[in-house]
Amino acid sequence: MNRGNEFRKRLLEGTALGGHVFLNDPAITEALARHGYDFIWIDAEHGPFDKQNLLMHIMAANAGGAGAFVRVASQEMDIIKPVLEMGIDGIIIPMVLDEVEAKRVLDLCLYPPKGTRGFGPRRAIGYNSQNLKTYLEQSEESFIRIIQIEHVEAVHHVEAILSLPALDAIIIGPNDLSGSIGHLGNPLHPDVLALAEIAIKAAKKAKKPVGVSIGPDAKTIEIYKALGVDFFSCGDDISFLQQGAKQTISMVRK
């Protein structure tokens, strides 16, 4: 279950592609994994997941051969801690505004003395099948920690955020980033892309991977490729249902 270092390398190399899951059925997560995604972004911030169902999605992603990355609902300990105990491959922490917030949430992901994570692994330690000493030695490396840059304040503090040793990568959230400067609904506005470019350049300078979370839109993909992101989390179950349904209906009715 220790695939953290593999993903650290692949995110920086640009060889990891993720897809989003919002709907509740774990079979959707397993199917997307089997269709070729390298990691599945299980969206516990906006999706209707309880703890039990979230665990099923994590297991489904791994069963399908993909990493299980969970975007948690908030930066609070009672939200982050149980997700870590489920044995995830990556955690995505939303709406972090500066390095002070970033350090606090990253500390919640690491056991003492490096951090403040509470102890109670379940699936993370293979249901006690793994040696405790080995687990503790490898726990920090076993999953990656990603902070989402989705507010203008986060861009202003991005260099300081990137300097934190426990941070593995950042990922841009264009929709909320656009909203933070008065352009909600227009994530390709030049001012939004200018902020994204600042974050991307800072990550390159810090030698840490930078990604973007977007839908399956060809224009947006090409723009962020040109900006130089290292990895994409691109496409989602709801969008694929919409696209497939519209395409099929259109073909039949023609």
Q: Which residue, 72, 95, 104, 88, is CA-closest to 149?
A: 95
Domain range annotation of the chain: 4-253
Q: What whole-number distance in Å separates Cα of residue 176 and Cα of residue 198? A: 16
Q: What whole-number distance in Å separates Cα of residue 40 and Cα of residue 161? A: 24
Q: pLDDT of 122-171, one tens digit each?
A: 999 999 999 999 999 999 999 999 999 999 999 999 999 999 999 999 99
Confidence band of 3 (pLDDT split at 50, 70, 90)? confident
The residue-averaged pLDDT of 190-214 equals 98
Whole-number pLDDT of residue 2: 65
Percent of the chain with pLDDT over 90: 96
Query: Angle of helix 26-34 relative to helix 51-63, nearest 10 degrees?
Result: 20
CATH architecture of 4-253: Alpha-Beta Barrel (3.20)
DSSP element (H, E) containing 164: none
Q: pLDDT of 215-234, one tens digit each?
A: 999 999 999 999 999 999 99
**Alpha helices of the chain — where are they, by DSSP H?**
4-13, 26-34, 51-63, 77-85, 99-107, 132-138, 152-156, 158-162, 174-179, 190-206, 218-227, 237-253
Say if residue 113 is preceded by a cis peptide, omega within 30 of 0. yes
